[in-house]
Amino acid sequence: MSPLAHRRFLKMNGLGNEIVVLDLRGTTVRVQPREARAMAADPPSRFDQLMVIHDPETPGTDAYLRIYNTDGSESGACGNGTRCVAWALMEDHAMGRASGPDLLLETRAGLLPCRRIGEREFTVDMGRPRLNWDDIPLRDPFQDTRAIELQIGPIDAPVLHSPSVVNMGNPHAIFWVDDVESYDLARFGPMLEHHPLFPERANISLAQVTASDHIVLRVWERGAGLTKACGSAACAALVAAARKKLTGRKARVTLPGGDLLIEWRESDDHVLMTGPVALEWEGILRPELFAGAA
């Protein structure tokens, strides 16, 4: 029997981004990719990202997070999911209530400080963006990652071209368009996610700048597909827009699920993401769920 059987989970969302929070502190249990895929395929535990809470590894941190996509692959960061974890650790008594409005969470992408600023609203410090081509990473060297050579469609009339690339814990490619609804992202997304230029695959975004402080965004998320919201993509889009002088360093980013406030702080280059969380239900993982994953 899977060690995940009979364990409690929280089904949450951050701007409609489906999040499942699972607490494995006090154990040595690790979620296997096949188990994550089984959970993602079951309606009660369906997720865009699975946030698994482990005992802290670094002194001074509150917990270590492992983040899984629907295909079972691990992600370096998930801003919307991190806000959900912060709420769970601060509010949910069964997960151990944290004291004070601040948490420090660790992921494989680094440390993520979280601060509660409202009943169900949190700010996550997503750290510094990585902008060099080999940090994103890209297969080929590009000295200027504000616009790289990549296009979809005919050479003389490409449908999409010249994306900005940023790493915000995950690789992101942002295509600048006049109308995000005018493109079939479900068609282009998988092709671009797996493009040979991205050795670790990439999150693919369509970004429309409507004002110096407003970006409209749609995202094809690496390992998850079309999503209502992606916090790291919103951060990447703001950084890329500011680098291209399309916006300032602070903007509202509108995704299908709602708005995030993103600020690329000048004092230390850290990117701050502020947004809401919602608890939908809690459940218990059924043993039969993992029968086919054994």
Q: Give the CA radius of gyration of the chain.
A: 19
C-beta separation of 24 from 61 below 8 A: no
C-beta separation of 91 from 98 below 8 A: no
For the question of residue 230 being annotated catalytic, the response is yes
CA pair distance 77, 74, nearest whole angstrom: 9
Alpha-carbon 292 to chain mean position: 28
C-beta separation of 148 from 142 below 8 A: yes
For the question of residue 84 being annotated catalytic, the response is no
78, 84, 114, 235: the active-site residue: 78
Q: Which two tokens stand for residue 177?
A: 């368009």
84, 114, 230, 235: the active-site residue: 230
Annotated active-site positions, please? 78, 230
